[in-house]
C-alpha cells in the first residue's frame, strides 16, 4: 500500500521505516526543512539502534522517501498516518492537540481522493471524534475514514517492538477502514507474530493511556517497596523476583530505581488524569503514582547526599548515565536532571558522561562538566553515581575506578553491581532497596 507518515519524530520515523521494510511505499513528511535534508543525507535526528541502516536500506530500494510538501506527500496515498507530537500543554497539563488538529485539516485540504486517516500520535479519548469533524468540515463530500492506531514502542527497542509487537491495536467501527488496516499490518499476520486487536476508536485511544499508566504504576510500586526494603533490611531485587514469578504480576517493570521519565509516561499519566478530571471520574491511584514519581527523583539526589555524609559543598560527584533509559539520547524528564540539580543545590561539582545523550543533556543541564568515560569522571571524585544502566557501565573496572577517587563511594541507583563486588574493589557501596 501507499502510506504517508506526517511527522518524522520518534514514532513517525520508526513507523515509516518499518512500514517500508514490510514492502509498503512510504513517504515521510515533516515541515522541518533541516530535518528532511538530514534524513535525505542519511543522518538520523534521533538515536535508535539499527534505525540508520533500516532507513538506508529502504531508501535505496525506493520504498521510503522524505518531503516537506504535505500536498505532494498525500497525493497518491491510500492511508495517511498522523504521528506528530502531543506534549503536555502549559498551564493545565492537558495533551496539546494543536499539531494533530492542524495536520488533520492540512491533509483534508490537500487530498483530492478518498483516504484512510489514522491517528498514531498518543491522544486523549475522543480526539478521533474531533479529527473526524475537522476533516468533514475541510473536505465536504469526500470520504475520509478516521481510525486510531496507538503505538507501543520502547525507545531503544523500537524496531523490534514494531516488527514483533505484543499486539497491534486498531480503533474503528468502519469495515472499509478495518480492511485497509488489515492489509497494512498483513505482514505481521503472515508471521503470526502478533494479534491485531480491533476495537472502537475511543477504546483504542484509551488503551494507550491505560497501558502506560499501569506500567508507570508498577515502576512506582516497586520503588516504594524498595524504600520499605531499606528500612526493613530486605533486598528489593529478591522481592521483585519473588513477586514477578507470579504470572498474574509478571517480571517486567519491577526494577527499583530513581523513577520513570521519558517522552511517554510523565505526559501520558498527566493527560489521563486531566481527562478523568474533566469527566468527573478521578483516578486516585494514578494521582498517587504521579506524585510519588515526581518526589522520588529529588529523593534520589538526597540519597546520594546522605551517602556522602550529608555534605557536598565543593565536592566532586561523577554521574554515569544521563538519558532516562539506555539505548536512547532522550533526556525528557530524565531522573538524572533532578538528581544532578539536587546535588548542585547542595554545592557539588558534577562531572558526567553518557554514551549517546551528552548533546541533548547540554540543552537541559547547566554547570556540568561533560567527560568521555567513567574513569575520567571518577578522577578525584567523592562519589560515583550510576543513574542510567547503559551496557557500557555494566563491566566497569571497579578497582581502577576506586584507585582514582578521592573518596571511594559508589551510589548505584540501578543496582547494576552487588555490594560484594564493589567492596572487593575497595568501594563503599549504596544501592536501592538493599539492606545497609
What amino acid positions are annotated as catalytic residues? 264
The set of residues, in sequence order, having a beta carbon less than 8 Å from that of 174 and lying 6+ positions away, is 145, 147
Q: Which residue's C-alpha cell is 510519588? A: 292
The set of residues, in sequence order, having a beta carbon less than 8 Å from that of 253 and lying 6+ positions away, is 215, 218, 219, 222
Q: Which of 394, 317, 381 is closest to 355 using CA atoms?
A: 394
Tell me what percent of the chain is helix, strand and coil, each rounded to the nearest 5: 45, 15, 40
Strands 2-6, 168-171: pairing is unpaired
**What's the CA gap between 393 and 373, in Å, rounded?**
9
SS3 224: helix
Kindly report the number of other CB atoms within 10 A of residue 244's CB atom.
17
**What's the CA gap between 266 and 269, in Å, rounded?**
6
Q: Which of 331, 351, 354, 334 is closest to 343 using CA atoms?
A: 351
Q: Locate 309 and state its grid cell.
A: 555524609
**What's the CA gap between 49 and 161, in Å, rounded?**
12
SS3 120: coil
In 96-174, alpha helices (H): 98-110, 127-138, 158-163
Amino acid at each position: 500500500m501507499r502510506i504517508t507518515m506526517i511527522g518524522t519524530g520518534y514514532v513517525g520515523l520508526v513507523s515509516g521505516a518499518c512500514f517500508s521494510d514490510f514492502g509498503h511505499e512510504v513517504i515521510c513528511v515533516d515541515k522541518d526543512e533541516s530535518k528532511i535534508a538530514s534524513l535525505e543525507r542519511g543522518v538520523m535526528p534521533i538515536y535508535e539502534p539499527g534505525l540508520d541502516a533500516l532507513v538506508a536500506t529502504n531508501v535505496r530500494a525506493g520504498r521510503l522517501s522524505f518531503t516537506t510538501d504535505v500536498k505532494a506527500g498525500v497525493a497518491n496515498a491510500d492511508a495517511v498516518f498522523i504521528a506528530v507530537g502531543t506534549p503536555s500543554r502549559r498551564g493545565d497539563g492537558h495533551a496539546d492537540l494543536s499539531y494533530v488538529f492542524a495536520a488533520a485539516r492540512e491533509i483534508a485540504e490537500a487530498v483530492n481522493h478518498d483516504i484512510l486517516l489514522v491517528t498514531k500520535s498518543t491522544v486523549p479519548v475522543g480526539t478521533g471524534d474531533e479529527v473526524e469533524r475537522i476533516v468533514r468540515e475541510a473536505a465536504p463530500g469526500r470520504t475520509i475514514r478516521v481510525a486510531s492506531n496507538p503505538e507501543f514502542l520502547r525507545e531503544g527497542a523500537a524496531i523490534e517492538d514494531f516488527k514483533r509487537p505484543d499486539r497491534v491495536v486498531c480503533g474503528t467501527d468502519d469495515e472499509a477502514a478495518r480492511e485497509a488496516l488489515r492489509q497494512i499490518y498483513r505482514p505481521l499476520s503472515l508471521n503470526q507474530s502478533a494479534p491485531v486487536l480491533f476495537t472502537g476508536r475511543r477504546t483504542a485511544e484509551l488503551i494507550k493511556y491505560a497501558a502506560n499508566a499501569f506500567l508507570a504504576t508498577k515502576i512506582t510500586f516497586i520503588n516504594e517497596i524498595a524504600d520499605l526494603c531499606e528500612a526493613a533490611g530486605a533486598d528489593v531485587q529478591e522481592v521483585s523476583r519473588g513477586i514477578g514469578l507470579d504470572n498474574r504480576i509478571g517480571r517486567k517493570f519491577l526494577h527499583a530505581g530513581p523513577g520513570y521519565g521519558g517522552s511517554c509516561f510523565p505526559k501520558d499519566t498527566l493527560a489521563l488524569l486531566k481527562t478523568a478530571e474533566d469527566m468527573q471520574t478521578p483516578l486516585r491511584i494514578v494521582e498517587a503514582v504521579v506524585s510519588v514519581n515526581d518526589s522520588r527523583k529529588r529523593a534520589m539526589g538526597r540519597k546520594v547526599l546522605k551517602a556522602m555524609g550529608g555534605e557536598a559543598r565543593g565536592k566532586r560527584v561523577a554521574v554515569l548515565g544521563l538519558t532516562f533509559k539506555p539505548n536512547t539520547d532522550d533526556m525528557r524528564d530524565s531522573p538524572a536532571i533532578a538528581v544532578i540539580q539536587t546535588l548542585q543545590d547542595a554545592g557539588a561539582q558534577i562531572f558526567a558522561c553518557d554514551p549517546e545523550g551528552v548533546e541533548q543533556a547540554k540543552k537541559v543541564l547547566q554547570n556540568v562538566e561533560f567527560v568521555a568515560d567513567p574513569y575520567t569522571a571518577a578522577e578525584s571524585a567523592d562519589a560515583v553515581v550510576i543513574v542510567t544502566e547503559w551496557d557500557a557501565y555494566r563491566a566497569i573496572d571497579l578497582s581502577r575506578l576506586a584507585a582514582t577517587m578521592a573518596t571511594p563511594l559508589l551510589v548505584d541507583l540501578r543496582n547494576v553491581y552487588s555490594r560484594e563486588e564493589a567492596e572487593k574493589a575497595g568501594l563503599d557501596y549504596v544501592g536501592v532497596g538493599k539492606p545497609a
